[in-house]
Chains A and B, each alone.
Chain A
């Protein structure tokens, strides 16, 4: 974890709205090492999704620079696991998971092997011919994860992938994600509003402030890998870390709320 995979220099984003300019992301400097499971926590409206969308190439920054180390040839730079339903309803589970490889025109045999592997790892082999509407929310998100991993990107971007799931499913999917991630240890940038999730999954956590979004603090997570979610949560250090991050975050949430109420009245 020495060389830098992602480097942001004074990266900012301003949206032009009818009410004037809205600064979603104040100039930000950040370095993410290769192989780091990097978590971003922050109140809603702190620009964390905007940051991820810039990294995914779905938004252009208004200022600053974004450097991402070039991946090896014929390998995509990043793949995103989106928040909420992002599976194509008109494709089967297999076709959805194979999407990235198909777009890159990989040979059919390779697609079958790779997608088959990740569907098996996510427990979806039996459902490869099902359509998304036939699956539960948890299973749909598994397909979404399989789709991103199967594409074999240099960087995985995850935008609150588990926020719509119930607690049991969330823990199951976090465990699965960690297990699959251990196979390759790709660089991950993972957004969440859950401090528990951040501490459970991440190597490093960035806490963001709202209005405008900027980095407030970066915290290292000392826990060893591979991790087991429930055992980790039973540790006293886990609770302490969660508590201290909540301390940083609580000020932010309250400040954001005060700002919202101030502008509403």
Chain B
């Protein structure tokens, strides 16, 4: 007689089904409303239409072209914004003078809406690839630099005492205490930064690009191809989910000591 385990298993299954069911039901209602004429299909085309458009765009290579353009910008943006942010943030957590020096700059620039500086970035970096990469970089820079610093400041002092007593050099303290100790918060910063990066790449491509998912959606609005617009939205949404899942997996791999806490 194992009623408890049976109950738990079925509860899990039910919950998973519910998770899956809610978007499916929404899509079905949407489809029905579109077909029955309850909603204006010029603004809300039926999901089946959007899906057909998706298949067309996959086949003619348009989706891949725009997707790939955005992905490249995101990659370089994450790299050029994220890596310096990581190093600077951890260093700020470790060094009080550096923190005193740099923190006012970060606090002053952080609240500025990143989208508001797009014109300035376009002015400085032109309409080429670099302006888009810079926008993504700025988006990911702030959450990582702030979280890395907070992560190091949260590390208990005793761990630094241990490393000092065991003769760790500054670089060894960075590598064996500060970086791993701050890693959980840094990864939270990466997740926030990826979200911000997706927002900014969309906006940047809408205004200043001839390729990419942002451009694709903006162009679709201009030529009133509403289905294409929805395809773009769908792809960006899926990208957000996939990136977030990837970071969660990385977290599981490189922060195993947090499991079961």
Contact = CB atoms under 8 A, between A and B. Distances in A.
B255 A90 contact: yes
A interface majority secondary structure: loop
Interface in A104-148: 104, 131-134, 147
A58 interface: yes
Given A103-B172, A131-B257, A58 B166 contact: no
A86 interface: yes
A114 to B, nearest CB: 14
Interface in B154-168: 158-159, 161-168
Residue in B172, B176, B177 with the greatest tally of chain A CB atoms within 10 Å: B176
For chain A, which range describes its interface: under 10, 10 to 19, 20 to 34, or 35 or more residues?
20 to 34
A147 B162 CA distance: 11
A100 B166 contact: yes
A132 to B, nearest CB: 8
A80 B183 CA distance: 26
B181 interface: yes
A158 B177 CA distance: 22
Contact of A89 (B166, B167, B172, B257): B257
Contacts of B158: 82, 84-86
Contacts of B172: 103
B162 A99 contact: yes
Contact of B261 (A82, A88, A133): A133
A50 interface: no
A198 B133 CA distance: 64
Contacts of B167: 76, 100, 103-104
A18 B108 CA distance: 31
B240 interface: no
Contact of B162 (A78, A86, A131, A133): A86
B208 interface: no
A192 interface: no
A133 B261 CA distance: 8
28 contacts: A56-B161, A57-B164, A58-B164, A79-B165, A79-B166, A82-B161, A82-B162, A86-B158, A86-B161, A86-B162, A88-B181, A89-B257, A90-B180, A90-B181, A90-B255, A91-B176, A91-B257, A99-B163, A100-B166, A102-B176, A103-B163, A103-B168, A104-B167, A131-B256, A131-B257, A133-B257, A133-B260, A134-B260
Interface of A: 56-58, 76, 78-80, 82, 84-86, 88-91, 99-100, 102-104, 131-134, 147, 151
Interface of B: 158-159, 161-169, 172, 176-177, 180-181, 183, 255-257, 260-261
